[in-house]
Amino acid sequence: MLWYKAWLETRARFLTLLATVTAVCGFFVYHALGDLVPGWRLERDFDRLLFVNQQILVFLWIFGVVLLGMGGIVREKAIGTSSFTLALPASRARLVGIRVGVGIIEAIALGVVPWTAVFVVSSLAGMPILITQVGLYLLLLVGGGLVYFAVAVLVSSLVSGEYTAPSVAFGVTLLPTILSDAYLPLFLNNRRLVTGAFSVDTISFLLSGHLPWLGILASLSAAGLLLWASIIVVQRREF
Amino acid sequence: MTNEPAILTHALAKSYGSAEAVRRLDLSVGLNRITAFLGRNGAGKSTTIKMLLGLVRPSSGEGTVLGKRIADPEENREMRRRVAFVAEDKPLYGYMTVEQIIRFARSFYPDWRIDVERTLLRDYELPTHRKVANLSKGMRTKLALLLAFARRPELLILDEPSEGLDPVGIESLLQTLVSQSADGVTVFFSSHQIAEVERVADHVCVLDQGCLRLDAPLDSLRELYRRIDLVFAFPPPEREFQISGVESIRTNGRQMSLFVSGNAEAVTERAHNLNATSVEVTRVGLREIFLETVREN
C-alpha cells in the first residue's frame, strides 16, 4: 500500500504534468509546420521537427520530473505527517525506495505518453514516424534524464520547504546545464545527451542508432548514486 | 509471556546542541498497565516517545520496547508492528479519504480487527468518503484513535490522545483505554489532563526538564502523599520538619504548610511536640502532586 500512498501523493501533479506536456507536444507537432516555423516543408523537415519536439519535451520533462521528485518523508516532517508514516512497520529505505519507484514509472510515462501522442498525431496527419525513432528518443530521455529526477529526490531529502525544495532542485538541475553549455567539454554535457544532439544526423535529423551508451550508463550510474545517497540521508535523519 | 517491562530505558538521553531534552532517563513501564506520562510543555515527553519509536536517535543510553532495542533499526521496525502510536497533533494524510487511510493502515497489520474498525466507525460517526484534510480536529483525533485501536497492538503509545475531543469523545476514549487494558494491551500515554489521568491510570511517571521526577503507582501516591497545614503560637522552626518524606515546606508568619510523600505521622507527631495550635492533614489529588513535583524543580 506504500505504492498507493506514493501514487495518491503525486497523482494530481503527475496527471497535470502529463496532460500539459502531451498537449504541448501534440500541438507543436500538429501546428508547427507552416504555422510556427515558416519556411519548413512537411516532407523535407518533418524529422527535424521531431528533433525540435524532443528539445521541447526535454525541457518540460525535466521540469516535470523535478516536481515529481518533490515530497517524501522530509516534506512530511514539515507538514506533520512523518510521525504517522515512520511509526508504520516499514523501513525508511523501503519508504524512499517505493516513492522513487513510483516516481520513475511516472517519469517514464511522462516521456512515453507525449511521444505516443506525437506518433498518433503524425500518423493522422499522414506523416507516420518510424517507431524506432520514437524508441531511441525515449531511451535517451529516460536513460539520460533520470539523473534530474534523482537530483530532485536528493534535494527533497535534504530540504523541506514547500517552495525552497523545488527552487533548490531547479537551481541544482539547471545551473550545471547552463554552465556545461558554456564551459564543460562537450562529452560531459548531459543536456545534449538527452536531447539527442550527440546522436542525430545533422542532415537527415534522424537518430543514427549509434547511441552514446557510455554517456547513458554514466548518467544512470549518477542517478543511482544520488538515489542511494537519498536513502542514506533519510535513514540518518531525525524526525 | 515474559515479565519484561513493555518499555525499559537505561540512562536514555537526548541533546539538541547544548540543550538537553532528556537526561539519563531510567523508565520502566510494566505490561498490562495504563501508565500516564506527565510533564510540562517541553519536559521531554514527546522526545522520549520519539526515541522509543526510532524517530530520533538517543544521544546516549539505551532502551527496549517489547524487548526490542530501540536503536536497532530492524528491531525497531519489528517492534512497530506490535505497537500503535498516536502522535500529538494526530497528523494523517490530508489527501486520503477516511476509507482510503483505513485501508492503507490495515494493509500493514495482518491481525487488523475489522469488527473494532466497524464499531468505532459507527461510534465516532466518521464520514468514510470525506477527505482527511476536511475533517475537524476532533474527527481527525477519532480517526487516529480508530487506526490505533483496530490494529490489535500489544502496546499503545498515545501522545495527548484527548486533545481536540469533546467531553463525550473524551469519555468514550477513557472507556476504550480501560477496555483495551482489560484485553491485555499495555497503554502508555502522555496528557496534560490530570483529571483524565486520575480516572484511568494505574501508574504515573512525571518528567520535568528531561528528568524523571516521579515514578509510582497511582494508588500508592494517593496513599502516601498528604498536605499538612500547621499553625503555631510562634514563628515555626522549618528546620525541625526537614525530615524524610517532606517534599516542600512553606511558611507564612505562624502558619506552615508541608507537602509530604510519606512519613505524615512523624510530621504530625513533631508538630504536636512543638505545641502546634492546629494540625490539619489532608489527602491530595494527582494535580497537586504533579504541581508540587514540577514546582520543586
Smallest CA–CA separation between B3 and chain A, in Å?
24
Confirm if B5 and B22 have CB atoms less than 8 A apart: no
CB-CB under 8 Å, B100 with A80? no
Query: Widest CA span of chain A, in angstroms?
Result: 62
Residue A34 pLDDT? 57
Query: Whose CA is closest to A129, among A62, A73, A205, A68?
Result: A205
Yes or no: is domain B7-220 CATH 3.40.50.300?
yes
Cβ contacts of A83 on chain B, cutoff 8 Å: 50, 53, 55, 85, 87, 91
Q: Alpha-carbon distance B121 to A190, whole Å? A: 54
DSSP character at residue B72: S
Confirm if B84 and B105 have CB atoms less than 8 A apart: no
Domain count, chain A: 1
Residue A188 pLDDT? 75
CB atoms within 10 A of CB B90: 26
CB-CB under 8 Å, B108 with A92? no
CB-CB under 8 Å, A238 with B93? no
State the burial class of residue B34 (Cβ atoms within 10 Å of its Cβ: 0-12, 13-18, 19+).
Answer: buried
Q: Give the cell for residue B195.
A: 483529571
Closest residue of A to B91, CA-based?
A81
With a pLDDT cut of 70, the percent of chain B lying above it is: 99
Cβ contacts of A82 on chain B, cutoff 8 Å: 55, 91
Q: Give the cell for residue B14.
A: 537526548
Smallest CA–CA separation between B91 and chain A, in Å?
5
Q: Alpha-carbon distance A11 to A71, whole Å? A: 12
Domain ranges of chain B: 7-220, 225-296
Q: What is the pLDDT of residues B198-223, one digit of tens each?
A: 999 999 999 999 999 999 999 999 99
Q: What single letter denotes the amino acid at residue A237?
A: R
Pick the CATH number of B225-296 from 3.30.70, 3.30.1490, 3.40.720, 3.80.10: 3.30.70
Query: Whose CA is closest to B77, among A2, A198, A94?
Result: A94
Q: Among A8, A83, A89, whose Cβ lies nearest the Cβ of B77?
A: A89
pTM: 0.88
Q: What is the pLDDT of residues B127-138, one digit of tens each?
A: 999 999 999 999
Residue B139 pLDDT? 94
Rg of chain A over Cα atoms, rounded to whole angstroms, equals 19
CB atoms within 10 A of CB B235: 11
Residue A36 pLDDT? 58
SS3 B211: strand
Give the residue numbers spanning the domain of A15: 2-236
Cβ contacts of A87 on chain B, cutoff 8 Å: 53, 55, 80, 83, 85, 87
Query: Whose CA is closest to B224, among B296, B293, B295, B297?
Result: B293
Q: What single letter denotes the amino acid at residue B130?
A: R
Q: What is the pLDDT of residues A90-136, one digit of tens each?
A: 999 999 999 999 999 999 999 999 999 999 988 888 888 889 999 99
